[in-house]
Structure 1
Amino acid sequence: MQITVVGLGKMGLNITKQMLDKGHQVNGFDINTSVRESFSHANLTYLDDLAVLKDASDKNLVLLLLPAGPITQGMIAQLAGTLKSGDTIVDFANAQYQVSIEAANQLAAVGIDYHDCGLSGGVHGARYGACMMLGGKETASKDLLALLSSLCVANGFQAYEGIGSGHYLKMVHNGIEYGMMQALAEGLELLKEQSHYQYDLAEVTGNWEFGSIIESALLSNIHAELAKDKELSSFTNQVAASGEAKWMIQEALEEEVAVPTIALSLMKRNASLKALSFSNQALSAMRYNFGGHKEF
């Protein structure tokens, strides 16, 4: 296989570096050419135009590490007219699984194999060993399975049957992540605001990191930040949502499965983006109207 990574941002470049460490020859492509100035390697070839893949003597394996949505969809449309029958695309975008199914059908019409793949572990995972959930197991070659497995931590790779199954799993994975993060954040806020004891939150999270039931990568993440700054003063109180939790909640409604914790964690994020919540103003107005509670 001739391996090409399209999208050399934080995740794409780090997966590329991991493959280079393992001795692979890799092509890299990104519309932002500044990456070429920041990193070079004897086994890495930067491409100026993906059209050269049409003339490759080996089968092409293209790893897409682009943002979900129009950018990835546009690249898939471009590759549909560029790659050869028998080539393979693995899409790591956090896309809706229905979009992945549409992409697979589009590419199958020209003989190109498509796999969706959920990727977890962040930048560190991409560089040193991730967790991956590959969709479309029934059409995956042994070489592809071996390559992706080698980029994961031990037992961190699994292939699943059905196009879209990898991105469906990543959707649910990220929804669970929202709920876990919210629970940790709320607990830490209570510890910070309560009036009984003086807790060093870096010390507390460091304590909980070892042997506690809530020991986790997320706990380690917040401990690392609290150890640098106990007030987290470089962070705002606004928290964006990237879409997966919303899709999961929509799916849960369709399937009539209750996911209240994840739904509330998403609503909490959405509320954080409001500079001034009108609903809070409405609550204050009602309290004033019936009880004379003046809050203005």
Structure 2
Amino acid sequence: MRLAMIGLGRMGGNMARRLRRGGIEVVGYNRSREVVDALAAEEGLIAADSPEDAVSRLAAPRLVWLMLPAGAVTESHLERLYPLLAAGDVIIDGGNANYHDSQRRGARLAEQGIHFVDAGTSGGVWGLDNGYCLMVGGEAAAIELLTPALQVLAPAPDRGWAHVGPVGAGHFTKMVHNGIEYGMMQALAEGLALLKGKTEFDLDLAQIGELWRHGSVVRSWLLDLTAEALQQDQDLADIAPVVADSGEGRWTAVEAIDQGVALPVISLALAMRFASQDETGYANRLLAMMRNAFGGHAVEKS
């Protein structure tokens, strides 16, 4: 089996490595040629100079997998690919795209008889060794063509990947997955912060994190990663208290509003990320001003 991988960053590069080690031929393209050459030397990847060159090295039905940032970058690459492909070919988007975009792209490609597969992909930098969780949306015929690659990328051929529904369903499932992730991360962070704040007990967070990993109902991969990090550094003095949001949490919150479904934990976790990104703290300054205005409470000067 041979497919093209467009975008060889942290996720795409490791996915290409795992595919090669599983016996799948990979034609790779990345805007940085050095990355392509390194993977060609390390893993036997077939180097391509452009998306057009990558497609030319495939036989029908051609499989082109995109691992690119959501939005304009993915859109521009799809515009380049549309005229290169023919009926029966398959485009797979494994990035964190909005599922509405995936539905739109799938409908456009379907007019040409080209399959579109939206593959929600989880696993991060650990996917190379552990395998990736793949939530795949699309037509059954396209998934059948892609199955050998999915079986290699997943933790095992029979688990860790699933055809979850039609086009859009894969990225929708991944969106909700990431929303849940926001809530889980926030809960762990708050609980550990509360433990650290109880100075009279002089609690060892590394010890407690490791303790919870075994037999506890809160054990999880997120806890594993957190416990391992705390073994190295409990003060985290060198880490700025700023948490970025990739967009998936926002999309999840918007979907909840559209459906009229209450998502208080996920929505509040998203709001806390926004709060961490507020460099001016203007809202908090207003709160201090209000307390001073009605109660005469002192205002701390910066």
Normalising by structure 2, report the TM-score.
0.93
Distance 2:18 2:293 in 1: 63
Match of 1:247 among 240, 245, 251: 251
Report Cα offsets for 1:29-85 as digits up to 9, x if no partner: 001112135432463111002223246434211111101110011111111111232
Partner of 2:207: 203
Match of 1:68 among 58, 70, 90: 70
**CA shift for structure 1 position 126:** 4.2
Aligned length: 296
Partner of 2:109: 107
Distance 2:42 2:123 in 1: 24
Question: 1:69-218 maps to which residues of 2 (within 5 A)?
Answer: 69-154=71-156, 155-218=159-222
Distance 1:293 1:110 in 2: 67
**CA shift for structure 1 position 146:** 3.1
Distance 1:182 1:147 in 2: 34
* Secondary structure at 2:227 match in 1: helix
Report Cα offsets for 1:131-159 as digits up to 9, x if no partner: 11000143334241232133112421110
Partner of 2:5: 5
Q: Which moved more, 1:122-131 or 1:232-241?
A: 122-131
Runs of 4+ in 1 over 3 A off after TM superposition: 36-39, 54-58
CA RMSD of aligned residues (A): 1.6
Partner of 1:257: 261
* Secondary structure at 1:89 match in 2: strand
Report Cα offsets for 1:90-118 as digits up to 9, x if no partner: 10111111100111122222222110011
Distance 2:191 2:50 in 1: 50
Partner of 1:48: 49
* Secondary structure at 1:159 match in 2: strand
Distance 1:42 1:245 in 2: 35
* Secondary structure at 1:74 match in 2: helix
Report Cα offsets for 1:220-252 as digits up to 9, x if no partner: 111121112111233210001111111111111
Distance 1:55 1:34 in 2: 20
Q: Gaps spanning 5+ residues in structure 1: where?
A: none
Report the AA paired with residue 230 of structure 1: Q
Distance 1:209 1:83 in 2: 48
Distance 1:36 1:234 in 2: 33
Distance 2:56 2:37 in 1: 27
Do 1:50 and 1:82's aligned partners in 2 also have CA atoms closer than 8 Å? no
Distance 2:46 2:37 in 1: 13
Question: 1:260-279 maps to which residues of 2 (within 5 A)?
Answer: 260-279=264-283
Does the C-alpha gap of structure 1 residues 71 and 132 become closer, same or farther in structure 2, counting only changes over 3 Å? same
Note if 1:293 corresponds to 2:293. Answer: no
Distance 1:209 1:42 in 2: 35
Partner of 2:241: 237
* Secondary structure at 2:160 match in 1: strand
Report Cα offsets for 1:252-281 as digits up to 9, x if no partner: 111110001111100000010112322211
* Secondary structure at 1:133 match in 2: strand
